[in-house]
Copies of this chain bind each other. A is one copy, B any other.
Amino acid sequence: MSAKTKRRKARKPARALADHRERSFDTAYRKLRELIVHGRLAPGTRVVEADIARRLEISRTPVRSALHRLQQEGYVAAYRSSRQARLAVAPLTKEDSRELYWIIGHIEGLAGRLLAQLNEEARARVAERLLVINTELSRLAGNPQTNPSRIFDLDMGFHQVLVESAAGPRLLALHAAIKPQTERYWRLYASAIVDQLGESVAEHKSIIQSIERGDPDATEHAIQRNWQCGAERLGRVIESRGERGSW
């Protein structure tokens, strides 16, 4: 037994970083998700395993796994008749976006609540990180030529910091599963985003201040408000473009 522990201790840490090929499942998941998010697979489009497999030049097996997961995450919807299921890209609607943003707002709000309860030092550290991101966002807000993807990444990062700093593993996982879905709506909205970015930056400031003050209620509320306002900004754009799942 002592030998065993010693051996385990001696285990070689040189993990095979050598080969960075990703598993087919991962490519399938990643690429499919990208196709959906970027709208190359339009909402409502039927998804056929064999087609995707051909397109990605892999077998149906990993495609199937990826679709299973995407289904659970809400990117694809299943219309099933007793045994077999037909999959389609989940539609984007104003109602769905409202619910989605509403839920995320509350989940992240919970994380914010925890965050505001940390000790002062930790809060200051987080606030600092948030401030850096938000300053960059603020800077980009002035520039109308900014790449929307860059803005999305920054905003994503902002909220990621918010959650990962204090949330437990379950809350983190939940957030990780739900948050990326906003990207679909974000893309829809990309053109109009730069104009309204200032509002979001202001809301972020309010969040940061609440954290610095260590005020759980205010932090939770500020985060919720940020998402709710986001939903409204988004709603206006969807409205103006006509709601059909076209694009």
Binding site for B on A (CB under 8 A): 15-17, 19, 23, 64-65, 68-69, 72, 74, 81-83, 95-96, 99-100, 102-103, 106-107, 110, 168-171, 173-174, 177-178
Least CB separation from A17: chain B residue? B82
In whole angstroms, what is the CA distance A106 to B96 when docked? 20
The answer for the CA separation of A56 and B168 in the assembled complex, in Å, is 35
Which of B95, B103, B173 interacts with A171 by CB under 8 Å?
B103
- A19 to B83 alpha-carbon distance, docked (Å): 10
CB distance from A182 to the nearest CB of B (A): 12
Are A99 and B170 closer than 8 Å at their CB atoms? Answer: yes
On whether the beta carbons of B65 and A96 are closer than 8 Å, the reply is no
Residue from the list B69, B74, B95, B110 in contact with A103, Cβ < 8 A: B110
Q: What are some 25 contacts across the A-B interface (CB < 8 A)? A: A15-B82, A19-B82, A23-B83, A64-B65, A65-B65, A68-B69, A69-B72, A72-B72, A74-B170, A74-B173, A96-B169, A96-B170, A99-B168, A99-B169, A99-B170, A99-B171, A102-B110, A103-B110, A103-B170, A103-B171, A103-B174, A106-B106, A106-B107, A106-B110, A174-B178
